[in-house]
Structure 1
């Protein structure tokens, strides 16, 4: 109990005193030496699907920039990777504008409808109702991705929206062959898809999942994308599409209104920036929890000389920093338009100094000594892609419909598969969501409020190399991106960063998830002696990374090798 008391004294004292993979690089016309290159002269894209990456390059070839390419990649992923993202969901983007050396963050996160009622997500005994939180129209927030794509095209792109959306429209209209991940997702969710006639019509043609190698078309989504291309925001958030969305949601027991759609707005926010060992990390602010947690962890670790530690003690310190950051994630973070958060405290190096003093040199701190709660195993959905264009513009976008195939509910006549992001609210305070994350009243649902996210699209600028990085993976997004950043700082190339073996701790459950092969036997034994419970689990994540070496002026792009359809490509 002395350790727990010390933790709270430090916390209170501070308050009072002072968030189909495919990667390709197009050839450069020349290679430059020192001084450091100011622009790459060629482009790199890493995404979760070959068709999406090629869509990005198609738009670049037509005179577009990284932002136009991002619209093409995201919209194509909506068609070919609906198990992870789509126009029925939302995204967060960290972007670098080379011309004026400016960083921006785009919040296209979903929002709660005005008629949201927390009682809809409770069983009669007061426990969370996982079905209404994860399946069907009540689980869906108002989508942000369509508005976000329009915003990026209009404010930062060079091409008409119709040009950037053309590859996705063509793919949906003419068809494509689903990869093994999409086929597996449809099979896994078949019973839920069968609950909704429009979902079954698209995902279960003839009453069964598509066969491998079979051409699959989505003409309704093609039409919805075409209306978005023609009319911009109003092509989705008002008019024909909006009416169909609301009619379908309400007919199935949901509570959307036309006003919910009409009032949705994209928000530009200042990204979080943290300096660590001579590197500048530009990452996601709330309503993402990822950038705050990553910054807090790096601030804690900055006080240790990790390079001169054996693996066991290095991992020990990283886990303890993760543990403390996730505890703060649960207590403080939410939508900044609704919740006042102590970000100055959480991001302060002085606060990190205090947290660092609570870490014992070779002994685990049980989470029960910080505060009791419960959690469960995190899931592995969402998608991420990274882009650097010839002029040095950079885009890191993490996009999601939340759980596998989102709500499994397709709105009749639209082809839009809705998200199930309502589960990312703290529907029942201090009860875990599907990813095992806890939440307080700061993340409770309210009309128009945006649910907390783990999405952590990031840009890392070092003395002579730059990385664009991110990953899907529920609550593990934060630790994946953190470990990727550390691997990049340690000198790893794009393939090494994406392939690095992973471990994860999120405060509760008090277990270290370990990818097979992450630790050698000696390290595992040492961590166990320190008091850690190690739980081996199947490999996770789908990291996509582009690295610009400004010394050689070469780009390196890689997709996560863990996925059976993963492919890294340089040409």
Structure 2
């Protein structure tokens, strides 16, 4: 049996509010669907089906989001899983309240600012990735527990059941999955448990093969029976620590037992009549997106030619990244000037630096301190280089019939994380510690118990007090630009959400060139922007794999996933009667 469950009919529309009930064939997969019940958008059909199953069983959006996330840990294990961490934004409709749940990985107690140095020199980045030294204390399971315990309506056992089914019975891997294994053959071959699961005779398993992961099913069953303690103490914890340390790490059982998730106040900002709620620090996403939008708000973008508006989008992103790199880090270790960075007056000052006709080469960090009521003596930053950051994460979004919403990004960092599978439990461990700066002085240097700065940007947007849309994406630091550009496309350029999400992505992160996707260079859009002096990366790569929900004026909801990227996403809504 191949677990790609696609037999249930669901509603789809052609970007309108007219609901059509379609009895789709078993092989159908759609990146856009509209209906009047709960909805989900993920990059994986089995994961979206898992969410719908839980919603149909009476679960709420929180229950369904965790079911989808657990299933993604099976079908997209190189992006996410219980060996990593994540950031979740939740809207509780009855309370009209937005909560953010930070379950980002933390540095083991053994960490110091020089952990990634030898004789005063930075260690090789790729060597650190494929080692236990890169593994942070995972936060995913603790985050799921907190979400379920506080806001869910189901047990671990119930929400993990769909993922256990997929892991046990298997699923057919596609070309994208096989390609990702091929890209990581060298890394995976270093670790016997990983090679046994994903390689055959040292080579990537081929597309079309049915992959089963009974060890991961076992791990999920233990979580279902023993709850959060089954992960952070006992046999699973011992196996995790032993394997990490076997490959150069220095983690203890106490590190796992001491891990805590954090409930934090969301980053709230406004843009052209919308109200945005994003992730606070240690995510830099909420602050950076808000600052860039504040800068853009001073322009009448709708009246401009597209090329001029997109030039301004790129320059606003460049300025926001200059500040992001200089100031933002774990708020429990660094007093970042968030209020100043979010100030509309500060944005106006930054806007003055933009030449509407000419691209900048490199932007310096600004001084946000005068724009907040800060009575302390603030530290002024040094210019910081743009550190390497894994681009391989996943984002999902779910709503339920009662109006609850989850926007959730979670990750193990690089494709395949550290490459280390925990023997007997079938999940990959993260390499999240490489999100720290390897040397300082910088706000984001490694320290014991610290959470590395993240770019994950799960976002929920409101209009007139009611949910308007959600947006989020994987992609390392390009997450911020994908979320920012999708909002810009949708709000300022007037694109429908499917068009906004599928448009060519341009990621300007204050570098010498802007990252673009294959096929963009040489296009009319590219040539128009080049007249302002914009420059493109020489090695185009696919950017992000976003998912969104749109809450339509007629009360329906449209789920939107990728139409082309990452093998096409999966958008589903509940059938009538649920």
TM-score range, shorter chain: 0.7 to 0.9
Partner secondary structure for residue 530 of structure 1 = coil
Q: Is the 8 A contact 1:25 1:42 kept in 2?
A: no
2:322 counterpart (318, 324, 327)? 327
Aligned length: 531
Residue-by-residue CA offset, 1:370-414 (whole Å, 9 max, x unaligned): 687655887641010111111111111011100000000112222
Where do residues 81-480 of structure 1 align in structure 2 (5 Å cutoff)? 81-124=76-119, 126-205=121-200, 207-367=202-362, 375=386, 380-429=391-440, 441-463=442-464, 466-480=468-482
CA distance in 2, matches of 1:475, 1:304: 25
CA distance in 2, matches of 1:283, 1:380: 19
Partner secondary structure for residue 193 of structure 2 = helix
Q: Offset at 1:246?
A: 1.4
CA distance in 2, matches of 1:101, 1:47: 25
Q: Residues 377 and 445 (structure 1 numbering): CA distance in 2 closer, same or farther, change over 3 Å? A: closer
The equivalent of 2:69 in structure 1 is: 74
Q: Residues 279 and 342 (structure 1 numbering): CA distance in 2 closer, same or farther, change over 3 Å? A: same
Partner secondary structure for residue 211 of structure 2 = coil
Structure 1 residues without counterparts, runs of 5 or longer: 1-19, 34-39, 430-439
Q: Is the 8 A contact 2:42 2:569 kept in 1?
A: no
1:527 counterpart (518, 529, 553)? 529
Partner secondary structure for residue 503 of structure 1 = coil
The equivalent of 1:432 in structure 2 is: none
CA RMSD of aligned residues (A): 2.6
Partner secondary structure for residue 275 of structure 1 = strand
The TM-score normalised by the length of structure 1 is: 0.87
The equivalent of 2:497 in structure 1 is: 494
Bigger mean CA offset, 384-393 vs 363-372: 363-372
Report which of the two has the higher share of helix: 1
Q: Is the 8 A contact 1:443 1:452 kept in 2?
A: yes
Q: Is the 8 A contact 2:319 2:364 kept in 1?
A: no
Q: Offset at 1:210?
A: 2.1
Partner secondary structure for residue 406 of structure 2 = strand
Residue-by-residue CA offset, 1:20-79 (whole Å, 9 max, x unaligned): 999x99559xx999xxxxxx8501100010000001111111110000001101111111
Q: Residues 197 and 399 (structure 1 numbering): CA distance in 2 closer, same or farther, change over 3 Å? A: same
Q: Residues 231 and 78 (structure 1 numbering): CA distance in 2 closer, same or farther, change over 3 Å? A: same
CA distance in 2, matches of 1:231, 1:528: 58
Q: Is the 8 A contact 1:82 1:182 kept in 2?
A: no
Q: Is the 8 A contact 2:322 2:364 kept in 1?
A: no
Residue-by-residue CA offset, 1:317-362 (whole Å, 9 max, x unaligned): 1111111110111110001111111111111111111111122231
Q: Is the 8 A contact 2:389 2:435 kept in 1?
A: no
Q: Is the 8 A contact 2:546 2:561 kept in 1?
A: yes
Q: Residues 539 and 192 (structure 1 numbering): CA distance in 2 closer, same or farther, change over 3 Å? A: closer
Residue-by-residue CA offset, 1:57-104 (whole Å, 9 max, x unaligned): 111111100000011011111111011001000010111101110000
Q: Is the 8 A contact 1:363 1:530 kept in 2?
A: yes
The equivalent of 1:36 in structure 2 is: none
Bigger mean CA offset, 80-89 vs 115-124: 115-124
Q: Residues 97 and 32 (structure 1 numbering): CA distance in 2 closer, same or farther, change over 3 Å? A: farther
The TM-score normalised by the length of structure 2 is: 0.86
Q: Residues 72 and 570 (structure 1 numbering): CA distance in 2 closer, same or farther, change over 3 Å? A: closer
Q: Residues 453 and 224 (structure 1 numbering): CA distance in 2 closer, same or farther, change over 3 Å? A: same
CA distance in 2, matches of 1:444, 1:290: 18
Structure 2 residues without counterparts, runs of 5 or longer: 20-34, 366-381, 574-578
CA distance in 1, matches of 2:244, 2:390: 26
